[in-house]
Amino acid sequence: MIKTNIIQGKTALGIELGSTRIKAVLIDQSYQPIASGSHEWENQLIDGVWTYSLEDVWSGLRSCYAALRADVREKYDLPLTTVGAIGISAMMHGYLPFGKDDNLLTPFRTWRNTMTAEASHDLTELFSFNIPQRWSVSHLYQAVLNKEEHVPSISFLTTLAGYVHWQLTGQKVVGVGEASGMFPIDSNTADFDATMMTALEDKLAPLGFPWKASDILPKVLKAGDDAGTLTAQGAKLLDESGELECGIPLCPPEGDAGTGMVATNSVKPRTGNVSAGTSVFAMVVMDKAALSKVYTEIDMVTTPTGEAVAMVHCNNCTTDLNAWVGLFGEFAKAMGMNVSTNDLFSTLYRKALEGEPDVSGLLAYNFHSGEHIMGFEEGRPTFVRTPDSRLTLANFMRTHLYASLSVLKYGMEILLKQEDIGLDMIFGHGGLFKTKGVGQSILAAAIHAPVYVMETAGEGGAWGAALLAEYNRSHVDGVSLASYLADQVFCGSTGDPVLPDPKDEAGFDAYLARYMASLSIQRAAIDTLK
């Protein structure tokens, strides 16, 4: 049956460009992954800017697709000449401005950059709506404030997912969830908010630029909308073997937040998900129209069909934790022990569960880069302890797991306690949850709620992008994305929950109080360690 699906193109391909890995997942008509491929990559800090080169984007995509094609050949002894539909996803936000000749005017500025504080503040005041530093409009307005030379020459501004989709199809579009990380969305129209757009254009008008913001942004589409087909040129960009045929339909390109919602069946009100990897963010689909006031800690974005979502986004999650695990790996190697990466992570993660709930006064800040919610424009990973703290391996590892989720916990308490947002179920996915039960239990303690992880959670956003592609290809008019996911893809499955342990909840609460009271440590580290 799988072979027949591949030959007949009754499949869907999802590709997601994450922070450290580009992944491709091919699914069949039962929505299950049947082949995959990946490519490791890493951002670079060049002249103070976190970036990826466009050359690395395309070499990484070709490497990822080649690995997928090889997996299909190895498993099914078939060439991969076509698929039923394609979905492109990528890390959200950032700044990719192009000129009239489709030339990139400045190196790609990713979501990780915290250089737009002035623009973020000014736009938040202008719109009475929180505009985070990483949003595309913040980068655009900061470039205006900085009087950067390239600004008058902008003819198109997009995101990484929007750029890749454009090159594959020729269509300058983005999905509404991705668009909501560029500029505020009006959920009633599932398009950029017209009132806020007018306010921005009025603000920019005296500067005399030859463009309007509404003219340089991509067209906004909802899940299910026609987003173009793979061109012959696009097929060559993706598949260097030349086997892939053109004419394959693509769904609207979405951000990793949107594909995370899809991959965890959390697109309905009162559901949510936490994606934890290089960064960590929580998405809660709102059960009311708006928050009571503007919070700079909370972003308002949307589902892939335009429903309002409250988002707590933290720039830092597992990067520092991974570095410590790597150090233990070096020690093991020096001792002559051959320990796999998976075994190293799972052993150390499980050891954390043996730690004291309040980790005996240990404290860590995992800020590898700036962290906007806490007001830090740069990061200095820091670990400190008092002389009487019990420095055990279990306490040490538990401390760094707490640190990975502390900023998220701070933001979620605004939603759940101050705003009383309803939340029936929250799903975890991403690298933090690979060791069964560990990340779940720490997150459950952080948010005081059960955390579910599905067997498919490890497939992540690439699988979510494939599901969106399949929805575009096969859905019937009138069948909502929420119904499609609940009734056809997940069929009522919710995965295994982990309930919060009261002792862990109290311990994490005590840790967060110590964490918040000691933030001056991080400020001193930034100011003194240049």
Between helices 136-145 and 117-127, what is the axis angle to 10°? Answer: 110
Give the Cα-Cα-Cα angle 393, 408, 492 (nearest 5 degrees). 100
At residue 36, the pLDDT reads 96
Angstrom CA distances, 292 to 126, 185, 285, 295, 501, stand at 18, 18, 16, 9, 31
What is the rounded (10 degree) CA torsion for 504, 510, 511, 513?
Answer: 150
CA atoms of 197 and 203, how far apart (whole Å): 10
At residue 363, the pLDDT reads 98
Please tell me the least confidently modeled range out of 181-195, 353-367, 421-435. Answer: 421-435
For the domain 266-453+500-530, what is the CATH superfamily, name and number?
Answer: ATPase, nucleotide binding domain (3.30.420.40)
At residue 458, the pLDDT reads 57
Residue 320, C-beta contacts closer than 8 angstroms, at least 6 positions apart: 364, 366, 367, 368, 381, 400, 403, 404
CA atoms of 241 and 63, how far apart (whole Å): 11
Q: Is residue 67 over pLDDT 70?
A: yes
At residue 477, the pLDDT reads 79
At residue 303, the pLDDT reads 95
Can you say whether the dihedral through the CA atoms of 290, 296, 298, 302 is positive or negative? positive
pLDDT per position as a tens digit, 111-155 = 888 899 999 999 999 999 999 999 999 999 999 999 999 999 999
At residue 377, the pLDDT reads 86
Mean pLDDT of 445-455: 89
pLDDT per position as a tens digit, 341-381 = 999 999 999 999 999 999 999 999 999 988 988 989 899 99
At residue 456, the pLDDT reads 62
Q: Is residue 455 over pLDDT 80?
A: no
CA atoms of 22 and 26, how far apart (whole Å): 14
CA atoms of 530 and 517, how far apart (whole Å): 24
Question: With bands split at pLDDT 50, 70 and 90, how would you rate the model's confidence at 457?
Answer: low
Q: How far apart are the first and last CA of the chain?
A: 59
CA atoms of 530 and 522, how far apart (whole Å): 13
Angstrom CA distances, 29 to 170, 316, 479, stand at 28, 36, 17
Q: Strand 96-98 relative to strand 156-158: parallel, antiparallel, unpaired?
A: antiparallel
Domain boundaries in the chain? 266-453+500-530
Mean pLDDT of 443-464: 84
Mean pLDDT of 508-514: 97
Q: What is the DSSP string of 5-34?
A: HHHHT--EEEEEE-SSEEEEEEE-TTS-EE
Quote the DSSP letter at residue 278.
S
CA atoms of 196 and 185, how far apart (whole Å): 9
At residue 290, the pLDDT reads 83
Q: What is the mean pLDDT of the chain?
A: 94
The answer to whether residues 185 and 176 touch, using CB atoms and an 8 Å cutoff, is yes
Residue 214, C-beta contacts closer than 8 angstroms, at least 6 positions apart: 192, 197, 201
The answer to whether residues 169 and 176 touch, using CB atoms and an 8 Å cutoff, is no
At residue 444, the pLDDT reads 95
| SS3 assignment, position 476 | coil
pLDDT per position as a tens digit, 290-309 = 899 999 899 999 999 999 99
CA atoms of 484 and 501, how far apart (whole Å): 34
Quote the DSSP letter at residue 253.
P
CA atoms of 190 and 108, how far apart (whole Å): 27
Mean pLDDT of 50-77: 97
Nearest to 265 by CA among 442, 471, 477, 85: 471
Residue 53: what are its φ and ψ, rounded to 5°? -80, 150
At residue 454, the pLDDT reads 80
pLDDT per position as a tens digit, 498-507 = 999 999 999 9
At residue 459, the pLDDT reads 63
At residue 228, the pLDDT reads 98
What HEC string does 138-166 produce?
Answer: HHHHHHHHCCCCCHHHCCEEECHHHHHHH
Report pTM. Answer: 0.83
Nearest to 173 by CA among 98, 253, 92, 93: 253
The pair of structure tokens assigned to 517 is: 């009271």
CA atoms of 351 and 439, how far apart (whole Å): 12
The answer to whether residues 322 and 403 touch, using CB atoms and an 8 Å cutoff, is no
The answer to whether residues 250 and 86 touch, using CB atoms and an 8 Å cutoff, is yes
Please tell me the least confidently modeled range out of 226-235, 250-259, 264-273, 517-526. Answer: 264-273
